A and B are shown apart, each in its own frame.
Chain A
Amino acid sequence: MRTVVAVLVAALTVTGCGAGVNRASGGAADGRVTGAVTVFAAASLTESFTRIGKDFEAANPGSAVTLNFAGSSALANQINQGAPADVFASAAPANMTTVTEAGNADGAPSIFARNQLVIAVPRGNPRQVTGLADLTRPGVKVALCANQVPCGAAARTALDAAGVALTPVTLERDVRGALAKVKLGEVDAALVYRTDARAAHADVTGVEFPESARAVNDYPILALKDAPNPTGARAFVAYVRSAPAQAVLAEAGFQAP
């Protein structure tokens, strides 16, 4: 048993050393960005950050952006459990707060985009949905995000603001899950971000509704304290706030902060 433990400890130490070597090699001393930049980003940023990542690589030869998309809360948990990330872009300030409170932030988060909800309906809007009230009509099946994730919290706020009591058929784990149920035709409508509806415009139409202004989501971004590539982390955050990246975000349907 003692041998087994010794071998295990040795194995862990070796891998630990490996990580240390990587950390030292990421980011050149002269401020030039090289090496891998790992970005944890909210699922709703999938299309825009994929493009921004490519643009960043083009602007910084020798850099390679790795993107990890998931629900913001799941990403915040992964970061707090020690996932080796350089940058965190969240779909809601609340998830950013869990990261900053855990002491994992390098500096303060900054808002780089805003997003609003729309009602996603199958293309052509067969149920003639024009507002939140239509979603309570009998026989209309609605998917929402679970309250635990930002799009669910925003949907709850918007529904409360409109005074609409809605019983969804499912509470999905992220905004893409809700959208997928519309695309598959399993539900008649879902509350998703405007950007998600726009990304899925081949199958889905986004119906704007006034109460969405009461539930605007701020997207904060942050370089992480234990970033394996701190230079790359700061450069990526700065790039997201620059004009070219902001143009990509605007095209995807985000509003400027």
Chain B
Amino acid sequence: MTQVLDHATPRRRGRVPAALLIPAGLGLLFLVLPLAGLVIRAPWTTLPQRLTEPGALTALRLSVQTATLATVLCLLLGVPLAWVLARVEFPGRRLVRALVTVPLVLPPVVGGVALLLVFGRRGLLGGWLDATFGITLPFTTAGVVLAESFVAMPFLVIAVEGALRAADHRYEEAAATLGASRWTTFTHVTLPLVAPGLAAGAVLCWARALGEFGATITFAGNYPGRTQTMPLAVYLALETDLESAIVLSLVLLVVSVGILVALRDRWMTSP
């Protein structure tokens, strides 16, 4: 059996049909060429100087801070949500699972409008928050975190739920028979068991939050130092200074590629 395979493998490799190879190559070019264009057109000589401009640094710092806070929020809310979806049988679970992933396909600007209608000053909850606690979320850094969390949380929930479903139940059952409480089982057995999936989900969630544009500018507005994140800075730089927009885009590209490459090697390698 193995001998047959050994013979077949190289022959099959030599007969890759052109009908597949050509569109595959075109597809690859289509995805990679725009990224290459960014690298080729980047003003490399003035790059360090443009990167250290106060505006760019402020936006980058704000982006990293808000994306990190959004990831923390997503972990606090998303992990329990993923656990419930993976481990608790309840009617309408499929509907809930579908609803949780809606922000994945929803245009982010629609998410921003929806957030405004709920958390805005005249919103369902926003009006009450404003009147009772004097809390307004639009145009604040907290608003940015909220917008980013809305768009990024599905990435975390999907990754963690998948890991929970794949994890071996018997460890949890063993812990329970040995007298561990449900909470101890969750923190000492379940969480370590799904740690790789959790980490991958958190990193994807962070990367998505970092790149968030539509919901942020719609819900949180655009003000340097408070709500102007990197993607917003890129958009406005495009209005006046193409070179600056390219430099800022390049930073986001490098960060995104770095994250995905690291993820592929560590956690997402398929057999």
* Residue ranges of A at the interface with B (Cβ–Cβ < 8 Å): 1, 3-4, 7-8, 71, 73-74, 77, 141, 143, 146, 148-149, 168-173, 177, 181, 184-186
Which of B116, B122, B222, B235 is the one whose CB lies under 8 Å from A170?
B222
Give Cα A171 to B227, complex, Å.
10
Q: Interface majority SS on B: helix, strand, loop or mixed? A: helix
6 pairs, CB–CB < 8 Å, chain A vs chain B: A141-B139, A169-B139, A169-B221, A170-B223, A171-B222, A186-B138
B36 at the interface (CB under 8 A from A): no
Which of B224, B235, B238, B240 has the most chain A CB atoms inside 10 A of its CB?
Answer: B240
CB < 8 Å A-B pair total: 68
Taking a contact as CB atoms under 8 Å apart, the answer to whether B221 and A185 are in contact is no
Count of chain B residues with a beta carbon within 8 Å of a chain A beta carbon: 25
* Residue ranges of B at the interface with A (Cβ–Cβ < 8 Å): 18, 21-22, 25-26, 29, 116, 120-122, 138-139, 217, 221-224, 227-228, 235-236, 238-240, 242
Min CB distance, B136 to chain A, in Å? 8
Which of A1, A168, A185 has the most chain B CB atoms inside 10 A of its CB?
Answer: A185
Known: A169-B223, A170-B139, A186-B120. 8 other contacts (CB 8 A): A3-B25, A4-B26, A8-B26, A170-B221, A170-B227, A184-B120, A186-B121, A186-B122
- For A80, the closest partner residue in chain B by CB is B242
Decide: A186 near B139, CB < 8 A? Known: A148-B236, A173-B235. yes
List of A residues within 8 angstroms of B228 by Cβ: 171
Taking a contact as CB atoms under 8 Å apart, the answer to whether B26 and A7 are in contact is yes
- For B18, the closest partner residue in chain A by CB is A3
- For B120, the closest partner residue in chain A by CB is A186
Taking a contact as CB atoms under 8 Å apart, the answer to whether A77 and B239 are in contact is yes
